[in-house]
A and B are shown apart, each in its own frame.
Chain A
């Protein structure tokens, strides 16, 4: 039985990991819900984000500036990928969409490997995030607390876009009934580009924010992508709130399990997915038969 401070520390880790997963998964889920595409390049895009931060930080010492510049890179990449490749697959069967995005993922990772080598790179924790903070009896790394706060703001921003803007209205209606949206005079294909770009920027930001915590390698995103699949099943395919809640739950499951027995932490998450798929495939917030 782990000690109380260890448990609380892991609970915070779970919050940090969970926030990251929430951000990664919300991008994945709105792409899936709106475009109907399960983006198998999501993990690679996470790594691209981390490397973008790495590169930008060589030109500026301001972490925030690097983030903004990195977002610009992800935006451009998202637009290019959608216009050049993904767009060709909206009417093609699901498996083809999975295959082409998987291919895009391979190409992106190999480009990273070619440009930066396979060895781990280090991204420094920003100056305002160094050190640890005292929380009652617990001493916890400051940057991770800030991570949680930053991601919370980003998710709030995403929520505002989805629920307070005209574009968000179109996206939410389009997730339900794209045909009717067309009948009401809206060219939903144009919205697809925006949604895909948002999803790519979201996962890239997650990579950028995660970079100071861990070693940056071209393959770093693969496990996150696999975990985000579990999250969107848990939360319900296409559901933004599901992705957020699901991400937090998943993060806690992984972290708290590792407090007891670190070798089972990842296994627990996938076992949960298996259970869900048998008992309640629509997840927490999804509707049966949507996909």
Chain B
């Protein structure tokens, strides 16, 4: 039994049908990348898992138990944590307060020291208000909020978007070390190279369907596949 099973979900955004019978699975300790053009349904998939959008039909199972339809706070309590695309840092709270809020309801919250060891930059900026952080610092904080909860599955929505290449390189290092530690993650990214550098398996999405499932090696061996669902057409 996989840690997370998404079983033929159909999710609507308003009355727009975005996901069509979408299925995927994530094993414990695995990093799964969701690739596809925007509009393909990648963000909607993550939001469905987190309970922000309830699927109209289909099931989402964590450890075999159905979690579809539960509110986000309950799903977070079960160990799932979303790092949203817009990061959603609390602008008026300091870095440390952002972390403390995240840790409030986590039974096995990391000590702040451990977070600061991993992200020394955040320790330097611990008293700074969220709105004064740079893009890279905000992304670090957003990931740190998920980590401090000791989440079982971390859902990363476009973590490298809009960041300078050097920062992306640093964050990829962080992601790789988390993967090496055996942390389960689902990564949605348009930066294919970065995502494939630490993913174990890949799903390709197009227009709300899964059109590809395989390993990074499978993808590298068949570049036309990527052109199909990622690129700019034949």
Contacts and interface: CB of A to CB of B under 8 A. Distances in A.
Contacts of B102: 184-185
Given A172-B90, A172-B92, A176-B92, A183 B105 contact: no
A182 interface: yes
A185 B77 contact: yes
A185 B106 contact: yes
A130 B58 CA distance: 72
Q: Is the interface of A mostly helix, strand, loop or mixed?
A: helix
A272 interface: no
B73 A182 contact: yes
B51 to A, nearest CB: 8
A186 B106 CA distance: 10
Interface residues of B, number: 24
B52 A179 contact: yes
Interface string B68-90: 00011100110001101000101
B93 A169 contact: yes
Contact of B82 (A177, A183, A186): A183
Interface string A170-191: 1011001101111111111000
Contacts of B123: none
B97 interface: yes
A170 B102 CA distance: 10
Interface string A137-177: 00000000000000000000000000000100110110011
Contacts of A170: 101, 104
A144 B55 CA distance: 59
A185 B76 contact: yes
Interface string A257-272: 0000000000000000
Given A169-B97, A176-B91, A183 B84 contact: yes
Contacts of B97: 169
